[in-house]
Structure 1
Amino acid sequence: MTVYGTRPEAIKLAPVIKALEARQGLDLVTVVTGQHREMLDQVNAIFGIVPDHDLDVFSHGQGLNSLMARVLERLDPVLEKEAPDALLVQGDTSTVAAAAMAAFNRRIKVIHLEAGLRSGDILSPFPEEANRKVTTQVATLHLAPTSTSKNNLLRESLPESTIAVTGNTVIDALLEAVEQQVPFTDARLAGALESGGRILLVTSHRRENWDGAMERVGQAVRRLARTYPNVTVVLPAHRNPVVRAALLPPLADLTNVIVTEPLPYGEFTRVMAAATVILTDSGGVQEEAPSLGKPVLVMRENTERPEAVDAGTVRLIGTDESRIVSEVSNLLDDERAYREMANAVNPYGDGRAAERAVAAIESLLIGGERLPDFDA
């Protein structure tokens, strides 16, 4: 059984779900929590996934405790009915931690995809760092995306035999989605890409940036848009009203800023591929953009994904308004600085992560050999 609730989880699980469905000897039950209802449904449609159960836990304005309580309450009868041998979760959302605990309490094996990410700060990212550490404690099999993640787990005294390095399945999903060339539903985006002009893609939603930081991000993007009128800023706005109230007011009167609803995954990958620079606080974008040769400036103080920072395609810049403006301006103005970051170096995967993950799952449940670990 696999359980997921957000768009990033759906994207990263989709290649594994498809690979599991294609294997004989394993029966798969797919459960969604509906934490990101519309965005979740869009990803399922792109990859042709039809869930077996929908817990429908989303409620406007609910807090983290309410969300986790609903997942526990509504997942438990499904676990009782289906009686799976193992439960597969991905990443570090509240859905992941709650589902893992629900399975553990019924003595069901937990398989954790994208295991071993660590920022070293329990409050950043919040609540993800705590969620992933909780899930590690109850997992039987840890599918680490990189050797760095594996080493994090080994430092926490996990047996090496319980860890497989798969690469990140987001690369499998990205390569498939980019090939599809999904048409844009927003004519402004189609026009921006057809013009061939430079594009600054901005995404910001992290909870730890809600307290003043997101207002600084909005002001920084405003300054950049006014300084570079020939650069189109594309900002898919997260639906959370706290995010929108902080981020969007400074951008309302700017003609070269395109604010959209959250983009379907296929459209978002097209914008990423066309972008000149990406400014984000997202974890997934840090993994995807290096595959496309895009410089990524991360508006966080730390990251649990250091591999691309080490490779030089990702830079941590924090949320200071002046620094954001300076870092983006440097890439837009200095061709040499841009080239140094725009290297198609991808330490996260080679498009075969799902294949390695399924082999490790088969080895756990029905025997057989794992594939060699991914080595960037």
Structure 2
Amino acid sequence: MSISGPVLCVVGARPNFMKMAPILRAMAAHVPPLPVRLVHTGQHYDKGMSERFFEDLHLPRPDINLEVGPGTHAIQTAEIMRNFEPVVDAHKPSCVAVVGDVNSTLACALVAVKKNVPVVHIEAGLRSYDRTMPEEINRILTDQISDRLYITERTAGDNLAREGIPSSRVCFAGNVMIDSVFLGRKNARSAKETLQSNNVNPVVLSHPLGYGVVTLHRPSNVDHPEILRALLRVLGEVATKLPLVLALHPRTRSNIDSFCLSDLVDTARMVLLPPLGYLEMLGLMAGATVVLTDSGGLQEETTALGVPCLTLRENTERPITVEQGTNILVGRDRSVIVGAIQEILAGRGKRGRVPEFWDGHAAERITADLYQWLKQK
């Protein structure tokens, strides 16, 4: 039995690109190939950065771009739904495949399920149990309306079971983000090249302990002046021991200026970089002594790279990175952060191990299962 229509694969924000790229390659390489249409919602509206990510990941140009752009969560979700509905009507897909937990994920899944089109959720079942995070709401609701759910770790299956989702709808396939990491490392730009091209102080390049990488973008960390001020003070203290490279979200950099916190950035020891491409960021992380972040994806990438990671959050939807990987939850506690840095600089940093099925072949397993599942529809 042949597949009735194309798989509509949805991307909207940069983390989606890293997850969808290996899936598209696996679908094209499958025998027979799966028919695919790539839909870019335009949720991430920095066109220059989107272009760089498509090039770095060898993603094909989107077949459809909804060009939604910025907005509040409600406006953005509504606009994606409004623009995506005619795409579903026109292409009559066999299923809609969504990844991760951004607004595009939930919006396109809602359109599909209300039109009786099967929904496939890749990276399902992850939970932080913090409903103040918009991503947590997106994850929970998308999983509830999905027909086929691919999980990155076994505990995600336990989460889904507790929420009443039968195991027959769930497939443990591994982590497609790690597929991109393994492939990208072969072409990653060296940290030295990235830092030199940005005219970074030579002291950072030659420091005997190396350097740390910092990313911050969660609203809970960067949208409140007193919290951002406290974090920058802690980072300044860390920087007296280890130079820090801050690859910050544009909104974070804007908030530093608008909150009048620029004086807390010690430019002799703390380097502010412009937004980086995927291969630049991958090389920078791979060469780092430690990564301090509030990003979910970087928790996974550092575990795959074997680089110690300090997560500046009180919880994580990726507990396997703590249980098996290199990640430590440090919150915003100064003493915990500084203590963890001292341990790392003393050579006692957490190395962990790469979890099950984080082996670079998750997309192949997803594609093989999806093909058989669609044939039976």
Q: Does 1:276 align with 2:289?
A: yes
Partner of 2:277: 264
CA contact (8 A) 1:298 1:315 kept: yes
SS at match of 2:36: coil
Partner of 2:18: 11
CA contact (8 A) 2:144 2:165 kept: no
What is the CA–CA distance in structure 2 between the aligned matches of 1:45 and 1:171, rounded to whole Å? Answer: 18
Shift of 1:243: 4.5
Partner of 2:4: none
Q: Aligned to 2:175, which of 168, 191, 200?
A: 168
5 Å-filtered alignment, 1:10-89, equals 10-23=17-30, 24-36=32-44, 37=46, 38-48=48-58, 49-59=60-70, 62-89=71-98
What is the CA–CA distance in structure 2 between the aligned matches of 1:151 and 1:132, rounded to whole Å? Answer: 15
SS at match of 1:258: strand
The structure-2 alpha-carbon separation of the partners of 1:189 and 1:97, relative to structure 1 and needing over 3 Å to count, comes to farther
Shift of 1:331: 1.9
5 Å-filtered alignment, 1:288-307, equals 288-307=301-320
- Corresponding letter in the other structure for 2:181: L
Q: Aligned to 1:128, which of 132, 135, 148?
A: 135
Give the TM-score, by structure 2 length.
Answer: 0.88
What is the CA–CA distance in structure 2 between the aligned matches of 1:215 and 1:98, rounded to whole Å? Answer: 35
SS at match of 2:93: coil
What is the CA–CA distance in structure 2 between the aligned matches of 1:65 and 1:167, rounded to whole Å? Answer: 32
**Unaligned residue ranges in structure 2 (runs of 5+):** 1-7
Shift of 1:41: 2.2
What is the CA–CA distance in structure 1 between the aligned matches of 2:184 and 2:231, rounded to whole Å? Answer: 29
| Alignment RMSD | 2.2
What is the CA–CA distance in structure 1 between the aligned matches of 2:363 and 2:280, rounded to whole Å? Answer: 23
- Corresponding letter in the other structure for 1:89: V
Q: Aligned to 1:317, which of 323, 330, 342?
A: 330
Q: Aligned to 1:236, which of 213, 233, 247?
A: 247
Partner of 1:200: 212
What is the CA–CA distance in structure 2 between the aligned matches of 1:221 and 1:190, rounded to whole Å? Answer: 18
Fraction of identical pairs, as percent: 34
What is the CA–CA distance in structure 1 between the aligned matches of 2:229 and 2:115, rounded to whole Å? Answer: 44
Shift of 1:367: 4.4
CA contact (8 A) 2:10 2:40 kept: yes
Give the TM-score, by structure 1 length.
Answer: 0.89
Deviations 1:82-106 (A, max 9, x none): 1111000001111111111111121
CA contact (8 A) 2:106 2:142 kept: yes
- Corresponding letter in the other structure for 1:305: R
The structure-2 alpha-carbon separation of the partners of 1:277 and 1:366, relative to structure 1 and needing over 3 Å to count, comes to same
Shift of 1:223: 1.7
Deviations 1:140-190 (A, max 9, x none): 000011111111111222111111101110110001111013364534469
What is the CA–CA distance in structure 1 between the aligned matches of 2:211 and 2:327, rounded to whole Å? Answer: 17
SS at match of 2:272: strand
- Corresponding letter in the other structure for 2:53: V
The structure-2 alpha-carbon separation of the partners of 1:240 and 1:187, relative to structure 1 and needing over 3 Å to count, comes to closer
What is the CA–CA distance in structure 2 between the aligned matches of 1:357 and 1:199, rounded to whole Å? Answer: 37
CA contact (8 A) 1:144 1:165 kept: yes
- Corresponding letter in the other structure for 1:47: L
What is the CA–CA distance in structure 2 between the aligned matches of 1:120 and 1:309, rounded to whole Å? Answer: 16
- Corresponding letter in the other structure for 2:119: V
Q: Aligned to 1:365, which of 362, 371, 374?
A: 374
The structure-2 alpha-carbon separation of the partners of 1:233 and 1:138, relative to structure 1 and needing over 3 Å to count, comes to same
**Unaligned residue ranges in structure 1 (runs of 5+):** 369-376
